[in-house]
Structure formats: C-alpha cells, structure tokens
Structure 1
Amino acid sequence: MDDGTAVTLPVTGVTRTAIDRAPRLWTLWKAARPSQLALIGAVYALGIGMALGRRGDWSLAAHGPAVGIGGLAVFAVAASIHYANEYVDVETDRRTERTPFSGGSGALAQTGVDRVVLARASLTAVIVGIAIAAGGYVTGQLSATAVVFLGVIALAGLGYSLPPTAFIRRGVGELVNALLGGLLLPLYGTTTVGTPTVADGVALVPFCCLIGCNLLATHWPDRDADASVGKRTLAVRLPPDRLRRLYWLLAGSAVVVTGLSYETVLPPLVVAGQAGSLPLVLWGGIVLTRQRSPFPAVAAMVWYALATAAAWWSLAVPFV
C-alpha cells in the first residue's frame, strides 16, 4: 500500500486449517513458490530440448540419469533462492498489496512463523542442491560444465537478495534475474545432454528480453513498498514514461534478434511457436504503469517459454 501500512492477507477456510495444523510446513511449501518451480522446470526442459532439437536426435533415454540428477539439483537450488528472497523481503511483502504475480508468497505474513525458519531452509536447500550436483559429477552423470553452471546460478540467485551483493538493492536486480532465468538456467539444462554453443546463447537473447519486460511489470505494483525498504528496482528508479520506453526497447530487441536469427539460429517451427506471445507482449506494454496487474507480461513470458520448449522438443522427435 502507498502509505506503507502492513496488509492483512485473506485466507480461505481450507488454507487456514493447513496453517493452523502445520504452520512451518505450510510456510516452507508456500515460500518455495511451487508455480515458479514449475516454470523453472519448463525452462530447464527448454534447454534440454534445444540441445536435442539441434541434433534432431531423440536420445533422452541415454541421458536420463543426468537429466534427473540435474533437475533435482536445480530444484533444490531454486527453492533455496526463493527462501532467501522471502527471508529478506518479509517487510516488503507485508507492506505491499499483492497481486497473483507480485508481492512474494505472503507465507510469513499469513502464518507469523519466524523468518529464521526460511534462512535455515535456504542454507539447507542450497547445500543439498550442490551435493546432488557434486554426486552427479563424481559418478560421471554430470559434466564439470553443468556443476559450474549450477554454482553460478546458486551464487547469483542468492546474491540477488542477500548481502553483500544484494543486486536488487544496487539497481542491477532485473539484469541479473533476466540472465539467470533466460540464459543460465536453460544453458544449464543443455549441459546435461550436451555442450552449449554460441548459437544457443544467441537463441536465448529474446527470452532474456521478455523476462526483462516481465520484471518491469511485476515490480511496478511493489514500487512503493520496495522504495520504503531500500530496494532500487527499475520501477522505483524510473518514472512511468521511461519505464514504458524501456519495456518497448526490450520487446523490440526481442523481435529484432528473432528476425536476424531466423533459420540460422532459430528454426521456423520455434519462431512460429514464439510468435503466439506477441499479442500478449503488446498488451503488456500498453497497460504497463496504467494498471497494477502484471498479467499480460507474465503470460507473454510463460507462453514464450512453454512454446519454445515444445517446439525444440518436437524437432527432436523423429516423426515430426
């Protein structure tokens, strides 16, 4: 809320029962952000599909253990990052008026559980994730490249919220977030079945741009609460007109890079799937700063991720 007053979050009877019976367990589940973990799984699969699709080789069976171990490791690391973010942002989340796509999970505000629980969970989860990856490397299932990628994801993801880096408080949070989700995560998926190439990196540039658009939209409703606790998001730092111009610059860059990469880096089938997100991108730019809900930009990013993953995987299937 604009005056920084704490918000009381409504809960249903079923949710209230779960909170009362097992508040810590419910907090850990909610703060892990299951919907975001599902999207992370899709982006991980995008990277795997991109590697297999470029080869036109349906060889997942040969890489099954590596894909499974890599997936478990990245889910643990992602949960750790989410817990760290919720731990740091508890005061921000109490002050903002949440939307379904912004304002954190609200788990701590709903349960009153001590936020130290999330600090411990974050440390435990990242140790588990790194241990799984290390085990995969020792047994020959994961490459050294995969372990390095996961390590960078863990460090940058935790550094997004936590000191001493706290990227979100230094004005570079959106850039770090876009590179993490749009580039490093899918390339990590690629490392489980092959070796990332320059072409793979170029192919992911439009996705990074759309994640940037999504972040501008999701940070907008939280701008007052973020400003009150010292978070220097672009929504806090830039006036509305400049924020909208940046959105259009990112969206336009995604279109231009896609056009330049057509057929050479991005197969026609992949571009055809991605094109479905364009109306949502346009809608998101039109309503940015004019409505609180970031739905159009979020939907555009999700469509793009799912369509891209499906297209790459279809190229790997022999009968397509």
Structure 2
Amino acid sequence: MTSPADWLAGARPRTLPAAVAPVLAGTGVAAYVDGAPLGDLAWWKALLALVVSLALQVGVNYANDYSDGIRGTDADRVGPMRLVGSGTATPQAVKTAAFAAFGVAGVAGLVLAATTAWWLVAVGLVCVVAAWFYTGGKTPYGYLGLGEVMVFVFFGLVAVIGTTFVLTQTWEWPALYAGVGIGSLACAILVANNLRDIPTDTVAGKRTLAVRLGDERTRYLYAFLVLVAAAAVVAIAAATTWWVLLGLVFLGRAIAPTRAVLGGAQGPALIPVLAATGASELAWSVLVAVPLLVRG
C-alpha cells in the first residue's frame, strides 16, 4: 500500500514555495494600495487564495506524475521518486489524488468568486485545464516546449494579480510587476528541472524548452530569469515605496544555484538547485511583501 510519506513525496513539497510566494506578493501589493490598517485587510480571502494556489500546485504535481508515468517518461528518472513511474501507487489512485486536489482548489475558488466576481470561475477553470494538459491529453503542451510560458502566466501573473484583485477588486500595476518577478522565478524552477532531465526527456520524446534550446542556452536562460526577478523588484519599488528594494536581498539566496547552473552542474547535482530556487522565490516574495505591508 502507498504510505502517507509516499503521497507527501509525490506532492513534491519542494515545489510548494512556488504556490505560497505569489499569494504573499499579491497580498503585499493589496495592503499597500488599500492603505488600510493590516487588521482591516480581508485576511480570510488571502487564506482562501493560498488554499487555491497550494491545491493547484499539488494537483499539477500529481497530474504530471500520472501522465508522465503512464507514458513511461518517468521510467528512468534522475530526480526524486515518482509514484506511478516507480510503481509505488497505481495510475488510477494518482489520477484521483490529482482531481481531489483540483476539487479543493475549486471549492475555495468558488467562495472567492461568490464574494468578489463570478467571472473568476472562468479563470479558475482555465487554470485547472492548463494544469491537466501540461502533461495530460494526446498533445500535452509541456512536451512542446510551452511549459515555462504557462508557469509564468498561471503561477506568476494570474496568481499574483488574482490575489491582489480579490482583496482590492481593482487593477494595480505593482501587481503586474510582482507577477513578472514571481513568474520568472517559478519558470527558473522548471528550467532547472528540465535542464536536469534533458537526456531522459530527449530519449522519451519530451520536447521541453530545455531540450529545444540545448544545455548551454538553457543555463543562460536560468540566469536571465533571475535577473528579470531582480528588475521586477526595482519596478515595484518605483511604483510604491523604495523600501521594496530590500527585496534585492533575495539575490544572496539565488547566487549559489545560479553558480551551480552556470558552472555546469548536471544530473543529481541539479536537484538542490530546485530547492534553492524555490527558497529564492519565497525569499523574494517575503522581502517584497513585508515593506508593502508595513508602508501600506
């Protein structure tokens, strides 16, 4: 039987900072533009947005495990264990877990939509469809080199701007800039993952962006994404308060993984890069959100 520890590993907890970070950043922007005391902020909406984000991330992870597993893509892995590929869990069980996670995200999203704007239901449906067809269906877009684009859009722009909107019900430019910063680091996590898997993905016919770009250019892409995240900090500071420049301290956490990537780390040596990049994204969100919360 599949143990709770196996299910936890299958949920890929190292990727969860990518779900927490956009909600933190979006909440920070909302607090700043709203200008109300922190106690007056609709924190329950921020918590529901966090539930949506975390549930979608877990759902994506299980969905990828299922789809890659039944295709045989995970048969010879370099990275952490996969439930279906390793035979630890049945494909049907993992598929059920994925849709259960999407269901949790859907329930929380419906509450937000009912108290904010019903068109958010459509946004949520698009998010779930994008999550499933990343590696699911007959022509998954993750196999066509479009995974990074979707991560940038949904775990960057949509997640940050959406969080700010449900709290303020207004469009805010700083939320867009924050979405760019968060989206860039979320993409960097995927780029590092796909860089590690270039050899096995090539054999499996999985044409990720890393496979298309090749090893060297993929490494430069990773470094470029880190620089974009730094530029986003400056843009937010210019639009809000210069205290946000404290967010540039995230570069101290991002230096080590960037050096590893540019230094030619391969295979298992890239696994710590994933965790370090996720930590960099979380640090970015905290260091940007706190000044916005305080100054707001």
TM-score (norm 1): 0.76
Distance of 1:175 and 1:305 partners within structure 2: 20
AA at the equivalent of 1:309: V
Name the count of aligned residue pairs: 290
Distance of 2:55 and 2:210 partners within structure 1: 30
The 1:165/1:190 distance shift into structure 2, 3 A limit, reads: farther
Deviation by residue 1:161-183 (Cα, 9 ceiling, x = unmatched): 11255111112112212222222
Preserved contact between residue 77 and residue 126 of structure 1 (Cα < 8 Å): yes
Q: 1:58 deviation in Å?
A: 3.3
Match of 1:88 in 2: 67
Alignment partner of 1:207 out of 182, 187, 190: 182
The 1:61/1:164 distance shift into structure 2, 3 A limit, reads: farther
Match of 1:40 in 2: 19
Query: Does residue 157 in structure 1 map to residue 138 in structure 2?
Result: no
Q: 1:154 deviation in Å?
A: 1.8
Q: How does 1:172-187 map to 2 (within 5 A)?
A: 172-187=146-161
The 1:31/1:182 distance shift into structure 2, 3 A limit, reads: same
Q: 1:29 deviation in Å?
A: 3.0
Please, which runs of 5 or more residues in structure 2 have no aligned partner? none
Please, which runs of 5 or more residues in structure 1 have no aligned partner? 1-21
Deviation by residue 1:248-271 (Cα, 9 ceiling, x = unmatched): 443444445555x26423633222
- Which moved further from structure 2: 61-70 or 282-291? 282-291
Distance of 1:279 and 1:188 partners within structure 2: 30
Match of 1:106 in 2: 82
Match of 1:317 in 2: 294
Q: How does 1:8-157 map to 2 (within 5 A)?
A: 22-23=1-2, 25-59=4-38, 61-90=40-69, 91-98=72-79, 103=80, 105-109=81-85, 112-138=88-114, 140=115, 142-144=116-118, 146-157=120-131
- Higher relative helix content: 2
The 1:312/1:271 distance shift into structure 2, 3 A limit, reads: same
Alignment partner of 2:162 out of 170, 185, 188: 188
Greater Cα radius of gyration, structure 1 or 2: 1
- Root-mean-square deviation (Å): 3.0
The 1:196/1:287 distance shift into structure 2, 3 A limit, reads: farther
The 1:273/1:280 distance shift into structure 2, 3 A limit, reads: farther
Match of 1:287 in 2: 263
For residue 97 of structure 1, give the secondary structure of its aligned residue in structure 2: coil
Preserved contact between residue 202 and residue 211 of structure 2 (Cα < 8 Å): yes
TM-score (norm 2): 0.82
The 1:296/1:197 distance shift into structure 2, 3 A limit, reads: same
Match of 1:243 in 2: 218
Match of 1:232 in 2: 207
Q: 1:84 deviation in Å?
A: 0.5
Alignment partner of 1:302 out of 257, 276, 279: 279
The 1:289/1:169 distance shift into structure 2, 3 A limit, reads: same
Preserved contact between residue 233 and residue 245 of structure 2 (Cα < 8 Å): yes
Preserved contact between residue 108 and residue 114 of structure 1 (Cα < 8 Å): yes
Preserved contact between residue 65 and residue 94 of structure 2 (Cα < 8 Å): yes
Match of 2:243 in 1: 269
Distance of 1:38 and 1:263 partners within structure 2: 23
Structure 1 residue runs of 4 or more that deviate by more than 6 Å after TM superposition: none
